[in-house]
Structure 1
Amino acid sequence: VRSFDKVPTAILSRSTAGTRGTSLIVNLPGNPKAIGECLPLVIPAIREALKHLRE
């Protein structure tokens, strides 16, 4: 989300997430710097998703 401010082409990213059974699958950017920018935004959603998967 914030990466759009830094890299205009970030909107073209194929980032996605989903579940398979009780597993959470999250695709992160391929660039380590981009992962560092993205992960702090994604972690709260991951925590919430894992709560739902455990129910």
Structure 2
Amino acid sequence: MLVVGRKPGEYVMINGNIMVMVVKSEDGHLRLAIDAPREVTIVRGELLEGKKEREGK
């Protein structure tokens, strides 16, 4: 796992075609913007965790 610090307006690129940008940061909360091709599936972590719990994993 890569951990990087970013400030609002800064971003990281993944695989040359996925951009993750910090658009807001205050009081320990972040707001991210993700720009990725349509074929890339993006799912929030809590939704994945909930699905695993419902499936009994």
Calculate the TM-score normalised by the size of structure 1. 0.28
Report which of the two has the higher share of helix. 1
Determine which structure has more spread, i.e. the larger CA radius of gyration. Answer: 2
Calculate the TM-score normalised by the size of structure 2. 0.28
Q: Tell me which of the two structures has the higher relative contact order, counting C-alpha pairs closer than 8 angstroms and 6 or more residues apart.
A: 1
Report which of the two has the higher share of strand. 2
